[in-house]
Structures are given as structure tokens and as C-alpha cells.
A and B are shown apart, each in its own frame.
Chain A
Amino acid sequence: MTATGDIPAPAASHAALAGHVHLGGFALSVPGAGHVAAGKTLQDASDCRIEAERTAIVAVADGHGGAKYCRSAEGSKCAVDAALDCLSDFLQQSGQCATLKTASDRHIVKQLRQLEGAIIHAWRSKINEHFAAHDLTDDEARTVLHFKESVRESDKYTLYGTTLLYACVVPDFWFASQIGDGHISLAGSAGNITSPVPDDERLMFGMTTSLCSAEAANDFRRAYGKTTPKGLVLVTDGVYDSYSRLTYPHFVKSILQHYAEAPENTQKEMLQWLPQLSERGSRDDMSVGCVCVTTMAAQDHTDGN
């Protein structure tokens, strides 16, 4: 579990902070009620990095679980780490997305697709490293149908199969991307909740696309905007499938509203809530990643330095 990025109080000794944007956020994962009952480990992972209250990146991932994906818990952790590392590099190289804020749609999409490719590559590198350091156990070997004398490339990545969802917010620009199931919600500046990332109709039928697939580069879906949203909420399907589609936006609004008012308490309450939600809902692992944007009103200060 990672919870980072409390919104810092404005420094009282500074000059007026008219309309200053603060970014905060958190990321949490809890094991599903069904998984706990079956003695399975947590297959989800999540993390969030806020830099100097001006950039926020967040990622959640859901390992496929099951005998054939026997290392997907490690796979999801590697996915989140790879995503945040690549996002950090991306922010540095783009001047915190400065190069994108005035770019054409075509250029933006090209950059975002390159980023997705970098994340896939980074994830595979992490998997290669882990696989090299950890031989297959006999049990793991038996569950790999195609395992004979050696493991094929596709078999290796399959063991670590996972979904991945991530988002980045800076003043006047945001983007989000996902492969596989789970959901990303955007709270616009007017507070309306939308689902900006296009659906993949194939996922309607209980299956998911995966980072481990040879076609992963073509299976990402993405969205972006040249605005400052009120927030973004990313969840794995364990959360999304536990709410009716009609009322899920209320949950998103609730997270952002509570976080803006009381960030630490919201994270504590969410940590307590998710196991209850899993028990009553999908019984699956649960991850929530959130970026919350608040705008400080202008303040006059009479004490100067």
C-alpha cells in the first residue's frame, strides 16, 4: 500500500497565491475477500508519485491470478514500477508536458504511444531480471502447459500477466492510458464525471487484454486533455465490477470530495472500505489510484520577509 502526496499547506510567508493549483493523490491495494478465503496472495499493485505539488502520476495493475499466471503478483508490481519510472522520465523529457500542451493531436498520440511502448519494454526488462533470478519451481513448471525443455519467450511473460492503468496530471494537461480491464474516471473542471478512455468491446465478455501479450502495443487505449481536471480515479475491475454502472460516478465524486477536504482521513477510510466492498461485491482484489487537484484561492499576507 502506498499513500503519498498530501496537499501541503501554503507557506504563510509567501506572497499571494492566486489560483495556485495543488496536486495530491494516493494509491491503495487490498486483497479480495474471495482470494483471502482461498489463501491466495494479493495480485493487484498500485503506486502514486507527486512531485513538488506540480506533477502527479499514478498507476494500478491487476495480475491475472490463476495457476497459469503463477507470478502475476510480481507482474503487477513490475507493471506499476515500470509505468511510474517511464512516466517520470517522460515528464522530465517533455518539460512536464510543456511540449504537449500546444502540440497537435497527432503528435500527442504519437508521444503517448511511444510512452506505452517504453513501458512495455521496461516491464519486460523487469520480468527478464526477475525470471533470471528466480528459477521456476516444480509446481510452477507443471502448470505451464507448453513448458518442455525450455521456456519460450511468450510462456515467460505469460506467467507474469497483468493489466495496467496509469495517469499523469500537470497544470493544463492530463493523460491516461490502460491495457486490460479496470476503469479510469475523469472529474472535469465543472465536477462532471466522465469515462474518457475508449472501451474495448472485446473486454465485455469476461476476458482481458494483457501486458504479457505479443500484441500489447496495439491493445492500449488512451485519452488526454489540455485542461486541468478536478481529478482522476483509476480502479482495477474488482472495484469497478462491485458498483452498478449507474451509481459508480457517485463513488468517484465521493473520493475526490473527501480527499480535497481531508486527504489523510480519506485514505484511512478507503483502506477500511475496500475489504468491505470486496466482501459484498466482486470478492476480487481491489485497487484505487487517485489524483486530486485543488485550486488555492488568492491570499493576501501582511507579514513579509
Chain B
Amino acid sequence: MGNMFDMAGEIVKREMVMFFLIDCSGSMYGTKIGAVNTAVREALPEMRTVGGSDAAIKIATLLFSNGCRWMYPEPVPVEDFQWASVDAEGMTDLGRACKELAEKLSKHAFLNAPSGSVAPVIFLLSDGQPTDDFDDGLEKLKANRWFKHAIKVAVAIGDDADLDALEKFTGSSEAVIRTHTPEALRKMVRFVTVTSSKVGSTSQGTLNGNITTKQDTLEAEIKTFVNNVGINQNADDDWD
């Protein structure tokens, strides 16, 4: 027998969008971009189980090299998301990517969930130095309040990555992890995507006082993972 409130309104889940910003510049060619492709594919099944709990997770992927482009025109539910293999060539227009991201971080664009969006997760993977006006792009992005409250993580791939730029992007050195091998990259991508999905999709935290933010929670989890799993951040690069 039905309940008197059955037809009272459209029921929805809370929604969280995870943004991947992927460096597809020429220096990522070969093992590095291959490792990224493999790492994200491997992480997807586990992300799908996280999404089923408290929030619906959607994925939006922005690829940048010469300019930038979205893998799909809109965020895709994680259960439907298929990772399209990415190639690498060209420059590193991270500034352009920042401006494009700033435009999409809006309730009138990618954050248009029917019951309101939860603060997004933004995951940047890069191996090099931005070759366009990164500071200008980042300034536009920082003016966006969704970006300010987003959970931000960056993985620096190899020795040549510009850690300063990545720290400026995330706002914290604790949210930047360097990886030197494909195996380490796969482990970090898997860990960060699954953990940030869990942290991002559960409500917690308050605005002031000694309250831990989701960003703090994720950084603490990353630190513990890096120490426990022994991802050697002082190792020499091994991308052959």
C-alpha cells in the first residue's frame, strides 16, 4: 500500500562532481600518459561503490595541452562514465584550463544539481611547467567561490613538475604529491579518487572555529597513506 507522501515531490540524491584536470602535453607522451589512462580506469570500479552511499558522484574531465577541451560536454554519473584513452602532445596551457574550469564551476553550468551541489573535488595531474599565463588563469579561478571551497589535490608526475605551480593551485603543499614511477602514480590516483569521493560526499565540518575541513581531512588521509604505503618521494624517476 502506498504512502500519502509518495507523489509529493521528485526525490534526488545529493550530488558531487569530481573534476580531473589532465596534463596531455608532449612531455606526458608514452609511459606517463599510459599510466594516467590505466590508473583512472582502475580506480573507477571502486569509485562507483563509494558513489552509491551518500551522494551521487559525477565526473568531469578537462584535458589541457594546446588549449583545453572537456572529455564529455557535461559531468557524467560515475556509473556511466567511460574513460576515453588520452594521447599526449603539445604545450601545457594550465592557465587556459584554469579559466575554463572557473566558467564551469557554477550552478548555471556543471554544478546544477536539482537539490544543490556538494563542494566539488578537483584533481590535477601534471608533469611539467605551465607554458601559458598560469598566474592570470589561476587568479580568475581563485575568484570563484566553488573553487575556494572545493577539495583540491595535485599529483606531480616526475622530477620536472612545477611544484610551486601545483601548490599555488591547491593552496597547500600537503595536497601535492610527487610520484616517480607508474606504479606509484596508479596507487596515488586510485587512493586520491576513492578517498576524495568518500570525504567529499559526506557532510561534515563547519565554517569557523577549530573545525576540520574536508580539505584538512583529505590531506591527513593522504599523508597517512604516503607514509604507510611507502610511496618514495625521493626516488629517481623511472618512467621507462
Contacts and interface: CB of A to CB of B under 8 A. Distances in A.
A145 B4 CA distance: 46
A171 B73 CA distance: 53
A244 B115 contact: yes
A277 B11 contact: yes
B9 interface: yes
B6 to A, nearest CB: 8
A88 interface: no
Contacts of A64: 204-206
Interface string B111-128: 000111011000000000
B54 to A, nearest CB: 5
Interface residues of A, number: 55
The 6 closest A-B pairs by CB, nearest first: A244-B114, A205-B149, A247-B9, A206-B119, A254-B8, A210-B206
A270 interface: yes
A145 B210 contact: yes
B12 A281 contact: yes
Range for the number of chain B residues in contact with chain A: 35 or more
A242 B3 contact: no
Interface in B129-165: 145-146, 148-149
Contacts of B202: 66
B149 A206 contact: yes
B13 interface: yes
B229 interface: no
Given A66-B202, A213-B208, A219-B207, 8 more contacts: A34-B53, A206-B149, A215-B209, A243-B115, A248-B9, A254-B9, A276-B3, A282-B54
Given A243-B11, A269-B4, A281-B11, A154 B209 contact: yes
Contacts, number: 139
Contacts of A213: 206-209
Interface in A246-305: 246-248, 250-251, 254-255, 258, 265-266, 269-270, 272-273, 276-277, 280-284
A28 to B, nearest CB: 12
Given A206-B149, A237-B203, A241-B116, A68 B4 contact: no
Interface of A: 34, 37, 64-66, 68, 145-146, 154-155, 158, 161, 180, 201-202, 204-210, 212-215, 219, 237, 240-248, 250-251, 254-255, 258, 265-266, 269-270, 272-273, 276-277, 280-284
Given A68-B212, A283-B53, A284-B54, A251 B207 contact: no
Interface in B11-58: 11-14, 53-54
Contacts of A68: 204, 211-212
B80 interface: no
A282 B148 CA distance: 24
Nearest to B146: A205
B42 to A, nearest CB: 26
Contacts of B6: 273
A273 B53 CA distance: 19
B10 interface: yes
A166 B149 CA distance: 28
Nearest to B114: A244
A208 B214 CA distance: 12
A178 to B, nearest CB: 14
B118 A34 contact: no
